[in-house]
Chain A
Amino acid sequence: MTIDKGVSGSGTAEASPSPSGGGDGKKPPDGPRGSGSPIEFRLDAASGVPTYLQLVQQVEHALRLGYLKPGDQLPKVRDAVASLAINPNTVLKAYRELETKGLASGRPGQGTFIEATLSQVALPELATLHRSLLGWLASADGAGLDEDGIVALFSSALRDFFKGRDRPADRRADRKGGTEGVA
């Protein structure tokens, strides 16, 4: 996936790339295939992250960066499987997870389509969070933690935080038509 914009969340308030087929090179090709998916999956076999989770994360990442918009189709199961050589159930599991999070939904006979975007956190709020994080990092560094130690501590706290909560999808999904609960 070529990335034309900055990867970090610093400053990108747009939810989508330029409307008229500009820059990202991943627009569906015109021609007999017609509605292909704007994105393609990749697999990091050595990452230790379960495959289906990688796919979920890639979709969410694409949403954040604007490669995917509501209404776009996710890769057909068959195509994803043919290019990655993975079990179709893995792709289905990833799509189910995305449905549960309210980000996508399947249309029988047609495929799976994006239904919502990830909410964008406003720029000032991002800046505040960034600053407070730097403060915490300074304390951790002062306490004697090195980079790996900080990462380990942070990851553990992250896990504990989300374990104790309801599904994170509840507060994240922005449905187009309203605020009813997740299907």
Chain B
Amino acid sequence: MTAMATPGQPAAEASLRPVPWRGMAWVSWRQHRTTLAGLLAVLGVAGVYLYITGLDLRHDVAAFGEMFVANGSGKMGMTLTAALFQVLPALIGAFVGAPVLARELETGTFRYTWTQGFGRERWAAAKLAQLAVAVTLVAGAFGFLFSWCYEAIIGVRQGLSPLMAITFDLRGVAFAAWTLVAFAIGVLAGILIRRVVPAMFATLAAWSGLAFVAGAYLRPHYETPLVTSGFNLPSAAWVISQRWTLHGKPVSLTTVSQVLQKIGAKEVAPGVFGPTGPASGPTSGTSAAFGSGGAWRSAPTYLLHHGFTQLTSYQPGSRFWPFQWIEGGWLLALSLLLIAATIWLVRRHAA
């Protein structure tokens, strides 16, 4: 009798060795190489711009000195660039992170991949880890480049504190951390929403919300702010809040403005005063004692004389690195948490 051929495969092993992790290296790279190439391209172009700008700035500083450059076009350029670059982590999170899982679910390829021998949790862990590391490294390099480019003018004078929102999160470890958390938000959005485009929008929204909350409410209080009553703050200080007291009792800003107006002055920046209108003398009598025309210049003395004190809470520029580590730390923890949650959701997903 013709016997049916015996199975060509080995008998089941009692304990199965897992499929080697290194197999996923090629898989992740091959599937996401276009995205990663795009990432490198975008950051590369930005990087080239920063490099050129950095060289220019150094040249200018050598020729004209720090203060000149920091007060002039150098500052404008930086503010514009920085504002533009603010969105980079969110975009990276949306374009690199969101599609990773959302595309598998949207196209149905998860029915193929999650039934291979590798196992879906290990697959997710390997892929997410690899992409997270890649994204973080590239972002870290970019943050370093940004710092190098503008280091001549940051912290040189008031209004350019290294702690201020517009540059803090583009430098040091913060940029890498914000990019990592954007990626983590993206992959989580992908598994929850299961469609690429909606997940991308959700990532942008969620990241923006987090960034706003962090910048407005968390970062000012990483360490207890210093308080001073002087009007001259250190140049690199980041002012958080100011309040006025009159003879020790809190008094509103309006009251202060009204008093200042009598001498034709107003506070244009923390501790800085200027004229209310075109440079002409005040009309009321009280100020006459202080002279006409430039009376506003003596506003600080005038206020002190009348018992006003301004208390300013601020963070000194020297706290830049401690703050960077704090922010980087909690963002890293949050990212790991989000990625862990994503892997757990992959495990639980039912077709």
Contacts and interface: CB of A to CB of B under 8 A. Distances in A.
Interface of A: 77-78, 88, 92, 95-96, 99, 105-106, 108, 111-112
B16 interface: no
18 contacts: A77-B2, A77-B4, A78-B5, A88-B4, A92-B2, A92-B4, A95-B1, A95-B2, A96-B1, A99-B1, A105-B1, A106-B1, A106-B2, A106-B3, A108-B2, A108-B3, A111-B2, A112-B2
Nearest to A89: B4
A88 B4 CA distance: 8
Query: Which 5 A/B pairs are nearest by Cβ-Cβ distance?
Result: A106-B2, A106-B1, A112-B2, A95-B2, A77-B2
A78 B1 CA distance: 15
Nearest to A108: B3
B163 to A, nearest CB: 73
Q: How large is the interface on B (under 10, 10 to 19, 20 to 34, 35 or more residues)?
A: under 10
A40 to B, nearest CB: 17
A99 B5 CA distance: 19
Given A77-B2, A95-B1, A99-B1, 15 more contacts: A77-B4, A78-B5, A88-B4, A92-B2, A92-B4, A95-B2, A96-B1, A105-B1, A106-B1, A106-B2, A106-B3, A108-B2, A108-B3, A111-B2, A112-B2
A95 B3 CA distance: 11
Contacts of A105: 1
Contacts, number: 18
Contacts of A77: 2, 4
A92 B2 CA distance: 7
Contacts of B5: 78
Nearest to B1: A106
A166 B13 CA distance: 50
B319 to A, nearest CB: 76
A112 B1 CA distance: 7
A78 B3 CA distance: 12
Contacts of A92: 2, 4
B72 to A, nearest CB: 81
- Among B2, B3, B4, the one with the most A-chain Cβ atoms within 10 Å of its Cβ is B2
Interface in B1-37: 1-5
A88 B5 CA distance: 11
A105 B4 CA distance: 14
Contacts of A88: 4
A105 B3 CA distance: 11
Nearest to A95: B2
A99 B3 CA distance: 13
Contacts of B2: 77, 92, 95, 106, 108, 111-112
Nearest to B5: A78
A3 to B, nearest CB: 28
A116 B279 CA distance: 126
A68 B132 CA distance: 69
A37 B350 CA distance: 50
Nearest to A110: B2
Contacts of B1: 95-96, 99, 105-106
Contacts of A112: 2
- Among B1, B4, B5, the one with the most A-chain Cβ atoms within 10 Å of its Cβ is B1
Contacts of A111: 2
Nearest to A88: B4
Contacts of B3: 106, 108
B7 to A, nearest CB: 13
Nearest to A91: B2
B6 to A, nearest CB: 11
A99 to B, nearest CB: 6
A92 B5 CA distance: 12
Interface in B30-80: none
A96 B5 CA distance: 16
B2 to A, nearest CB: 4
B325 to A, nearest CB: 67
A78 B4 CA distance: 9
Nearest to A107: B2
A111 B4 CA distance: 10
Nearest to A105: B1
Contacts of B4: 77, 88, 92
A56 B3 CA distance: 18
B8 to A, nearest CB: 12
Nearest to A96: B1
A31 to B, nearest CB: 24
Nearest to B3: A108
A96 B2 CA distance: 8
A109 B7 CA distance: 14
